[in-house]
Amino acid sequence: MQTVLTETRPWGRWTVLGEGEGYKVKRIEVSPGHRLSLQRHAHRSEHWIVVAGTAKMSIGDRTSFVQIQESTFVPAGTDHRLENPGPHLLIIIEVQNGAYLGEDDIVRFQDDYGRSDGQ
């Protein structure tokens, strides 16, 4: 049986729903008015699917608002940020694909909470 891993962050929390060779699936909850760091991953791409709330997604030089049942793709090596501009909890399902899926595969460029890479 697989152990469920949940980690709390200043912006909300994430839970690993499943993982295997070359993939990981997470449920990500972003509190109203909060956002993740502007970041990049060298070894993985991400698919984001909104299941509750409205997301403001910045991917490369493009920013868009994504609603329930809509999704977007973040290629490996692309700067990106996820934000909850709404009054309700934002929940997305994130599907990661890549040769390396460790939490330390991150470079942060801007972080509202003063964190450095890998935190």
Say if residue 31's pLDDT is above 90. yes
- What pLDDT was estimated at residue 60? 96
- What pLDDT was estimated at residue 117? 56
Q: 56 lies in a domain?
A: yes
The whole-chain average pLDDT of the chain stands at: 93
How far is it, in rounded angstroms, from Cα 68 to Cα 16? 20
Q: pLDDT digits over 43-60, tens only?
A: 999 999 999 999 999 999
- Domain extent at residue 11: 5-99
CATH number of residue 13's parent domain: 2.60.120.10
Neighbours of 45 (CB within 10 A): 15
Say if residue 95's pLDDT is above 80. yes
Give residue 110's pLDDT band: very low, low, confident or very high (50, 70, 90).
confident
Number of domains within the chain: 1
Neighbours of 52 (CB within 10 A): 13
Q: 116 lies in a domain?
A: no
Enumerate the β-bridge partners of residue 62: 59
Q: 110 lies in a domain?
A: no
Q: 117 lies in a domain?
A: no
